[in-house]
Amino acid sequence: MTNKERYKQAFSVLHTSDQFSVEVENMSRLNKKHNIKVAAAALAGCILLAGGTGTAYAANVGGIQRTVQVWLHGDQTTANMTVSDDGTYTIEYPDENGETREISGGGIAYEADGTERPLTGEELLEEANSPDVEYNDDGTVWLYYKNQKIEITDKFKDDVCYVKVQDGDETLYVTVKYQNGLAYSNEKYVEEDEFN
């Protein structure tokens, strides 16, 4: 009889316990969890590195700055938009004389659970491109929306004007109070007692 046959005969009566099988499975599961944790830690490190770089950039210029196309008085203009963490923005653009002009705004949004958050850069740009009214020294009143310039001087009744504007498939119902602001909706005219 060879050594191999002797070992086979000696150990053939031995069986692995159920406990041993469970331990092997547990070790396998723990090894997988460890690999997942290592991958998650690596991903978190990359995010922190990228986020830290962005934070340093934002801290250097006082906000995140980018070049945008914005509608001003019916003309599309290239401008520099600076967005701050608190939900405010500043847009600097050249006027017709080449001088730098500035507009600013901002706001907050309410989440479904009632918490408030600063507006995002995209939401702020949408606000900057919203309808605007201009009162001129000659007494005329103009409504601007994207590439549209609409004189609304003669449309006021009791210092309120209702104007429907369209841009492609989008329709806006604009309510203007003379020298007292405007409101708009995609669904219906906002009643003048609902704002200001």
pLDDT digits (tens, 9 = 90+) for 123-142: 888 888 889 999 999 999 99
Measured CA to CA, the distance from residue 34 to residue 26 in angstroms comes to 12
Tens of pLDDT, residue by residue over 38-97, are 555 555 555 655 555 444 333 434 567 888 888 877 888 888 988 888 888 888 988 888
User: How would residue 178 be classed by pLDDT, with cut points 50, 70 and 90?
Assistant: very high
Mean pLDDT for 97-105 is 86
Measured CA to CA, the distance from residue 24 to residue 42 in angstroms comes to 27
Which of 167, 192, 181 has its CA nearest to residue 74?
167
Tens of pLDDT, residue by residue over 141-177, are 999 998 899 999 999 999 999 999 998 888 999 999 9
pLDDT of 35 above 90:
no
Measured CA to CA, the distance from residue 48 to residue 42 in angstroms comes to 10
Phi, psi of 127, rounded to the nearest 5 degrees: -65, -45
pLDDT of 34 above 80:
no
Mean pLDDT for 171-189 is 92
